[in-house]
Chain A
């Protein structure tokens, strides 16, 4: 059973270009979360999606960032017109549907390290 897959693992972009990060959740998982991690810091929640729906985007920057999880295919985190401050590791996690009580464990992918030149 493959884990959460992210690609590319490393991405280099010049300022002003677009970055597209892909995440394939674990088999049977319909919930996807995106996090950003700056060097020497913890993970910061960005967005939570179910198939074709954005459930919580309270951590997403208001501009240039968007996320989708289409009916078919991976979830995509898209950053338009990248700036140097966007350089970070971006992690995707997936979980099964939520149930009452307990923690709906999120399984993390290996991350995409974005470098903006």
Chain B
């Protein structure tokens, strides 16, 4: 079945550092999504990407839709303690209805 791979699996960084994480797939996706999940809560959408090569920012977060349509990355600049959580990439293969497939997540810890 469809699978997404995320790297790294976990990260420990100092407050103020920049963070980069990525997501890859063996098949093409037409929509890439980045979600954040806080402990004990449901995921919250951070950024949605719709076109190959698209670069989108949301505050300190920047995400890109890979040219091959098989990957995406998320950057967080100047990390702060509230950035702690699990970051999931997700995608849909079709532009009409399609189920959302989630990656296994990258766990981010920020050391004050």
A58 on the B face (CB < 8 A)? yes
Chain B residues, Cβ within 8 Å of A55: 97
Known: A98-B96, A111-B41. A43 touches B88 (CB 8 A): yes
Q: Give which listed residue, A45, A56, A105, contacts B101 with CB less than 8 A.
A: A45
By the criterion CB–CB under 8 Å, are A100 and B96 in contact?
yes
A4 on the B face (CB < 8 A)? yes
Q: Give which listed residue, A42, A93, A101, contacts B105 with CB less than 8 A.
A: A42
B78 on the A face (CB < 8 A)? no
A102 on the B face (CB < 8 A)? yes
By the criterion CB–CB under 8 Å, are B42 and A103 in contact?
no
By the criterion CB–CB under 8 Å, are A105 and B48 in contact?
yes
**B interface SS class:** loop
A44 on the B face (CB < 8 A)? yes
Chain A residues, Cβ within 8 Å of B40: 110-111
Q: CB within 8 Å of A: which of B44-82?
A: 44-45, 48, 50
By the criterion CB–CB under 8 Å, are B88 and A58 in contact?
no
Interface residue tally for chain A (C-beta within 8 Å)? 29
Known: A4-B42, A111-B41. A103 touches B50 (CB 8 A): yes
By the criterion CB–CB under 8 Å, are B88 and A42 in contact?
yes
Cα–Cα, bound, A58→B2 (Å): 13
Q: Give which listed residue, A45, A58, A104, A109, contacts B42 with CB less than 8 A.
A: A109
By the criterion CB–CB under 8 Å, are A93 and B42 in contact?
yes
A63 on the B face (CB < 8 A)? no
CB distance from A112 to the nearest CB of B (A): 10
Chain B residues, Cβ within 8 Å of A110: 40-42
Cα–Cα, bound, A111→B90 (Å): 18
CB distance from B105 to the nearest CB of A (A): 5
Q: List the interface of chain B (C-beta within 8 A of A).
A: 4, 31, 33, 40-45, 48, 50, 88, 90, 92, 95-97, 99-105
